[in-house]
Amino acid sequence: MRKILLALLAAFGAATFAVPFVAADPFTEPGFYNGQLVHFLLPSASSANPNEQVVADCFRVGPQVPDSVVPGATAYIMLIPGASQETQCSTDGRPAGPLTHNHVFSKAPGDPGYNAHFQLVLVGPGPNYPGAAFADTYNSEAAVLGGIAAGQLVVLDPDAAHTHWSLKV
């Protein structure tokens, strides 16, 4: 009887922990912060929110943040050869093709001035871009700004959107 009870408890415990894993939000995405791989959540990106922003008819980026809310950080959207973090459109699941990109965050929880409101800056390859094998070396704001200064990267749109993303470090 004791073995049966332990087996039932073990099965119940496994089922309890499996539910959150199975129900994981598909709008949690990877990004870089200070050289580390981190994840962030796109709030309400899967809802029918009329304030939902869609960038390039491909990516849901969450509800529009009011103009009165000043972004406390930058999210660099790295549209460069070799990027591999965002490969499908979140609107319909089709391949993102030339819109495939990586994310690089300037601030995270605990940093002075962090408020989870991000200004999206689109960045592309510059004339001195070293090639696809180097895409993941642009993994911090310092690396992105250094790449811009060296002509390896160029800013395509300095203010593509304002979003509220929850970053987990």
Percent of the chain at pLDDT exceeding 90:
51
pLDDT at 46 over 70: no
Give the whole-angstrom CA distance, residue 49 versus residue 55.
15
**Between these two residues, 84 and 56, which has the higher pLDDT value?**
84
- The mean pLDDT of 27-37, rounded to a whole number, is 91
Q: What is the pLDDT of residue 3?
A: 37
Give the whole-angstrom CA distance, residue 150 versus residue 97.
26
- The mean pLDDT of 101-119, rounded to a whole number, is 92
- Whether the CB-CB separation of 149 and 112 falls below 8 Å is answered with no
pLDDT at 52 over 70: yes
- Whether the CB-CB separation of 63 and 48 falls below 8 Å is answered with no
pLDDT tens, residue by residue, 58-103: 888 887 788 888 888 999 999 999 999 999 988 888 999 999 999 9
**Between these two residues, 6 and 127, which has the higher pLDDT value?**
127
Q: How many CB atoms lie within 10 A of CB 136?
A: 17
Residue whose tokens read 């990027």:
83
Query: What's the pTM?
Result: 0.81
**Between these two residues, 166 and 128, which has the higher pLDDT value?**
128
- The mean pLDDT of 31-60, rounded to a whole number, is 82
Which residues partner with 164 through β-bridges?
A: 117
Confidence label for 2 from pLDDT (cuts 50, 70 and 90): very low
Domain chopping of the chain, boundaries: 25-168
